Amino acid sequence: MNPTAHAVRTGFSRGWTEFKNSFANAGEVIGGYFAMPLVFVALTLFVGDDTVEGADVPVAAMMMTGGVTMLLLMLGTATVAQVIGSEREDGTLLRARVAPNGMVGYAVAKTWHLVTMSAAAMAFMLLPGLLLVDGFAVQGAFGVFTLLWVSLLSMTALAPIGAIIGATLSNPRTGVGVIMLPVMGLTMVSGVMFPISVMPSWLQTLAQVFPVYWSGMGVRAALLPEAHAAAELAGTWQLPQAAGVLALWSVVGFVAAQWVLRRMTRKTSGSRVQQAREKAMQRAY
């Protein structure tokens, strides 16, 4: 078998194994799959029957679409950053670098693990919302198709950002918590939880540079009635623009992440990994 094809096949197998193993830890299952859906379903109970100003859409439904967008954001940035940072520290990345086609297999494994984990997490987020929240519904075949491509492009746009963060963090355990502050700030100004039209015009312009705004709009187009489009900046769903911005971030991010990861692994040696392990053990105790 071609060495590269073998690495790809091994990567898929490893990614699937990692996904299955994630269900062996009760804490990981609760924190990774159930915590966020429970939080957002609970929040919808407090907003009652209020509707979004300028659109006859329940605020609770808008809030649930915010939960779906935040789930994509967390998986693409914090989860990827923590995995890359931890595996840089424990030597997994170093072993992948020195093995024939090891980085190819590693990239395939992490991508497949992220895809499968995202699909499961998305199902756990969508099901309670679809059953319990008024106005929150997949908008037919159009909604299914839109949700699929928006989710895929969102993950490919966000995952390189997470990989770069994970490759540069000195301490992946505490660093991820720190970087979540600006990430959450960007979420708040990107119209994820409430219409972006209430923000100052300069913030509206800034938010449109980043993928979070376009991910959120795509999710809303898939899960909210057409009436909500009136509350968007353009008064309509700008899906071609969303696809273009997310694709651009995906391509640029992939190139940048590859460059950062290669530089990081070149600087990594067995002795540095051992030092990192010793520091990790000291932090644990």
The C-alpha torsion from 102 through 167 and 16 to 245, rounded to 10°, is: -110
Identify the residue with better confidence: 69 or 166.
69
Dihedral of alpha carbons 165, 167, 169, 174, sign = positive
pLDDT of residue 153: 92
Residue 153 CA to residue 80 CA, distance in Å, equals 16
Query: Per-residue confidence at 284, pLDDT binned at 50, 70, 90?
Result: very low
Render pLDDT for 157-216 as a digit per residue (tens, 0 to 9).
Answer: 888 888 888 877 766 666 566 677 777 888 888 888 877 877 888 888 888 999 999 999
Which residues, 6+ apart, have CB-to-CB distance to 114 below 8 Å?
A: 75, 76, 79, 80, 155, 159
Contact 197, 233 (CB under 8 A): yes
Q: Which of 50, 42, 220 is nearest to 132 (CA)?
A: 42
Q: In 10 A of CB 239, how many CB atoms?
A: 17
Which residues, 6+ apart, have CB-to-CB distance to 206 below 8 Å?
A: 189
Contact 260, 252 (CB under 8 A): no
pLDDT of residue 197: 77
First-residue to last-residue Cα distance in the chain: 46
